[in-house]
Chain A
Amino acid sequence: MQTAKSVVITCAGIGSRLGLGTTKALIDINGKTLIHWQLDLFKDVEDIRIVVGFEANRVIDEVRKYRPDAIFVYNHDYFNTKTGTSYYLGAKDGNEYALEYDGDLLVHPDDVQMLLEKEGEWVAYADKRSEDAVYLSLNEKGEVTGFSREHGDYEWTGPCCLHRDRIQYTSGNVFNVLEPYIPLPGVKVRACDIDTYGDYQRAIEFIKGWK
């Protein structure tokens, strides 16, 4: 077994495309906030690192109810930077491997468990589902070979996992952090990310039956 992974949940963004007037972490999905659903997925992980920016205090107040032992990481420049920056900031003083989990993402609990047990570096993807997605391509070995906003076999949703020392600073997205290292092992998951109101409605359907 490798050393326990850090899990970096990136919740710094404004969530402007969603139009619900609140940071995505705090949107209500079947009576629980999105961040609460996510924390439940990682309840057995010791090192939970929540990257905060927009509405940081509200996110912190929500997280501390369930994980007072979380480490909060500030992305003070959240307005000018993207999730790749938050991944870098969240991972740099954490454990040897850092699993990145977007604050707007829901992954099926069984798949999360499988990912937590998976060693080394990898990139997770899902069937095309969201309205405003980045796609990825695979080679014959099932490795991820590229990202694109126009075309690809699957939707890039994350999560992903890299060795801490390979997570370089970028002001861009998480896939920009991954690009220098592709091909990387790919893992298919059942996932739903929430960028738009349509995604939000799909997420409510997606989690039906979860505990």
Chain B
Amino acid sequence: MTKFIFDLDGTITKCETLPLIASHFKVEEQINELTKATVAGQVPFIESFIRRVYILGKLPASEINELLSGVETYSKVVEFIQQHKENCSIATGNLDCWIEKLSGKIGCECFCSSGQMENDNVIKLTRILKKEDIVRKYKDEGHRVVFIGDGNNDVEAMRMADVAIASGLTHSPAPGAISVANYLVLNEVALCRQLNQLL
């Protein structure tokens, strides 16, 4: 079977969720500084993620969950996922407690990071998703794996996948993602056409 693994932010959703949370809770300054340093390569991705959770973990998780459930998604992409639920999954570094409602709406299996909760806050990060582990799992099961992503944290998964699609639906994919991609698509018509061709 062909397994399609989708990055969430900017690939299924029409915006990145992190700036949305930051703006809603007015912690943009801290988050922007961290994002800038990460993009510039001064802070490694994993460290950046841990520091991000440290900032956002103090915010009410249920409110983040609610906020993200209302995020706009690419309707044709979601439609493809819903028509082929058995073939599709989401791989996102986001915490389960933040995206539970959103992933529930999309309706396919979702692999994400996890945290330990106390009083609606994340008190400890317990698992950071490595997207390439999901690719490896499906390949070991004998599936052909297609990975659709756009960010630096998608690069290893894209490199390992049988087919890597760089998604430029929301913004230009990271150069690292482009360097391992077989395909680049710039709108959801192109993406869905390629997905259907790969079924």
Contacts and interface: CB of A to CB of B under 8 A. Distances in A.
Interface in A13-30: none
A74 interface: yes
B32 to A, nearest CB: 26
A76 B197 contact: no
Contacts of B189: 69
Interface in A23-70: 46-47, 60, 64, 68-70
Contacts of A70: 186, 190
A106 interface: no
Given A71-B190, A76-B179, A95 B185 contact: no
A71 B181 contact: no
Contacts of A60: 184, 186
Given A60-B184, A68-B187, A69-B187, A93 B163 contact: yes
Interface in B157-199: 163, 178-179, 181-187, 189-190, 193-194, 197-198
A71 B148 CA distance: 14
B75 to A, nearest CB: 16
Interface of A: 46-47, 60, 64, 68-74, 76, 89, 93-95
17 contacts: A47-B193, A47-B197, A60-B186, A68-B186, A68-B190, A69-B186, A71-B184, A72-B184, A72-B185, A73-B182, A73-B183, A74-B178, A74-B183, A89-B182, A93-B163, A93-B182, A95-B197
Interface of B: 163, 178-179, 181-187, 189-190, 193-194, 197-198
